[in-house]
A and B are shown apart, each in its own frame.
Chain A
Amino acid sequence: GAGVSQSPRYKVAKRGQDVALRCDPISGHVSLFWYQQALGQGPEFLTYFQNEAQLDKSGLPSDRFFAERPEGSVSTLKIQRTQQEDSAVYLCASSGRTESSYEQYFGPGTRLTVT
């Protein structure tokens, strides 16, 4: 079946522009996660949704970052007034979450470059 998909795969933005990154999770997965991965680092947790509810947004680095999942499926991560330090790969993951499994399935990521 289809995995997690993300679009666009690459995005170049000028400093100060707003960007929107899309994530389509695996069909039926109730949990959706966003991570930020800087060059040479592991992914860093940003936020988590269970269905349409955003249950944890403790990793969002500033109020310029906003995520939504209005119908409990597709999610959008929006970054306002982008800064150079926002340049990173943004990974989306989804999980079906049985009681015994925490496996998260990752999408290919969106590579954001802010110039």
Chain B
Amino acid sequence: RKEVEQDPGPFNVPEGATVAFNCTYSNSASQSFFWYRQDCRKEPKLLMSVYSSGNEDGRFTAQLNRASQYISLLIRDSKLSDSATYLCVGVTGGGNKLTFGTGTQLKVEL
């Protein structure tokens, strides 16, 4: 079983829709969590950090539930430009090691 698990998708949604991605992790020693975004044939880029209290950045909301070892990302009013792969990431080893999920592919359509 992978340490960080995600539904690979693809999620095909119409422009303006709200879409939610979920991620589970098995390493309870994971200290921090992030969502990274990766466009096709590009490098991953940090989208946002994930906190137990929730973290909102514009149309994006991330949430961590440590008891259930579950992380979520909500995208409201999705845009064509949101089409990408979203990677759930756990941090261990004092911040020295990022453990990535396989990524969830999102396609926003007209």
Residues in chain A within 8 A of chain B (CB atoms): 31, 33, 35, 40-45, 48, 55-56, 91, 95, 97, 102-104, 106-109
Query: For A42, what are the chain B residues with a Cβ–Cβ distance below 8 Å?
Result: 4, 87, 100-103
User: Which chain B residues in 14-69 approach chain A with CB under 8 Å?
Assistant: 32, 34, 42-46
Whether B102 lies near A109 (C-beta < 8 A) is no
Query: For A109, what are the chain B residues with a Cβ–Cβ distance below 8 Å?
Result: 43
Given that A31-B96, A56-B96 are known contacts, is A43 also in contact with B44, CB under 8 Å in the complex? yes
Whether B43 lies near A45 (C-beta < 8 A) is no
Whether B102 lies near A103 (C-beta < 8 A) is no
B6's closest neighbor in chain A, by CB?
A42
Query: For A103, what are the chain B residues with a Cβ–Cβ distance below 8 Å?
Result: 34, 46
Whether B46 lies near A45 (C-beta < 8 A) is no
For the complex, what is the distance from the CA of A31 to the CA of B98, rounded to whole Å? Answer: 13
B92's closest neighbor in chain A, by CB?
A45
Residues in chain B within 8 A of chain A (CB atoms): 4, 8, 32, 34, 42-46, 87, 91, 93, 95-103
Which DSSP category, helix, strand, loop or mixed, fits chain B's interface? strand
Closest 3 CB pairs of A and B: A42-B100, A106-B43, A102-B95
For the complex, what is the distance from the CA of A30 to the CA of B44, rounded to whole Å? Answer: 20
Query: For B45, what are the chain A residues with a Cβ–Cβ distance below 8 Å?
Result: 106
Whether A45 lies near B44 (C-beta < 8 A) is no
For the complex, what is the distance from the CA of A48 to the CA of B98, rounded to whole Å? Answer: 11
Whether A102 lies near B91 (C-beta < 8 A) is yes
For the complex, what is the distance from the CA of A75 to the CA of B38, rounded to whole Å? Answer: 23
